[in-house]
Chain A
Amino acid sequence: MKATINISLKAGVLDSQGKAVHHALDSLHFSNVNDVRVGKQIILQLDTTDRTKAMDDVTKMCEDLLANTVIEDYSIELV
Chain B
Amino acid sequence: MKVAILQFPGTNCEYDTQHAFEKLGAKTEIIWHKEESIPSDTDLLVVAGGFSYGDYLRSGAIAKFSPVMKAVASYASKGGKVLGICNGFQVLTEAGLLPGALKRNDGLHFISQYHNLKVINNDNIFLEKLNNGDVVNIPIAHHDGNYFIDSDGLDELSKNNQILLQYTDANGEVKNPNGSVESIAGVCNKTKNVFGLMPHPERAMELLLGSDDGVKMLQGFMEA
Q: Are B108 and A68 in contact (CB under 8 A)?
A: no
Q: Are B58 and A68 in contact (CB under 8 A)?
A: yes
B61 close to chain A: CB less than 8 A: yes
Q: Are B61 and A65 in contact (CB under 8 A)?
A: yes
B179 close to chain A: CB less than 8 A: yes
Q: Knowing A68-B94, A70-B148, A71-B148 touch, does A16 contact B104 (C-beta < 8 A)?
A: yes
Which of under 10, 10 to 19, 20 to 34, or 35 or more describes the interface residues of B?
A: 20 to 34
A36 close to chain B: CB less than 8 A: no
Q: Are B103 and A13 in contact (CB under 8 A)?
A: yes
B37 close to chain A: CB less than 8 A: no
Contact of A66 among B57, B101, B108, B146 (CB under 8 A): B57
Residues of A near B103 (CB, < 8 A) are: 9, 13, 16, 71
Q: Per-residue CB proximity of B104-124 to A under 8 Å, as 1/0?
A: 111110000000000000000
Q: Are B101 and A70 in contact (CB under 8 A)?
A: yes
Contact of B108 among A9, A20, A70 (CB under 8 A): A20
Q: Which of A9, A13, A68 has the most CB of B within 10 A?
A: A68
Chain B interface, DSSP helix/strand/loop, else mixed: loop
Which of under 10, 10 to 19, 20 to 34, or 35 or more describes the interface residues of A?
A: 10 to 19
Q: Are A16 and B107 in contact (CB under 8 A)?
A: yes
Contact of B101 among A14, A16, A20, A71 (CB under 8 A): A71
Q: Knowing A65-B61, A71-B148 touch, does A17 contact B104 (C-beta < 8 A)?
A: yes
B15 close to chain A: CB less than 8 A: no
Query: Bound complex: CA of A55 vs CA of B208, how far in Å?
Result: 58
Give the residues from 1 to 54 in chain A that come closer than 8 angstroms, CB to CB, to chain B: 9, 13-14, 16-17, 20
Output the least CB separation between A18 and chain B (Å).
Answer: 11
Output the least CB separation between A33 and chain B (Å).
Answer: 19
- Among residues of A, the one whose C-beta sits closest to the C-beta of B96 is A70
Output the least CB separation between B2 and chain A (Å).
Answer: 32
A-B contact pairs, 24 of them (CB 8 A): A9-B103, A13-B103, A13-B148, A14-B106, A14-B179, A16-B103, A16-B107, A16-B108, A16-B146, A16-B179, A17-B104, A65-B57, A65-B62, A65-B65, A66-B57, A68-B58, A68-B61, A68-B94, A70-B100, A70-B148, A70-B149, A70-B150, A71-B101, A71-B103
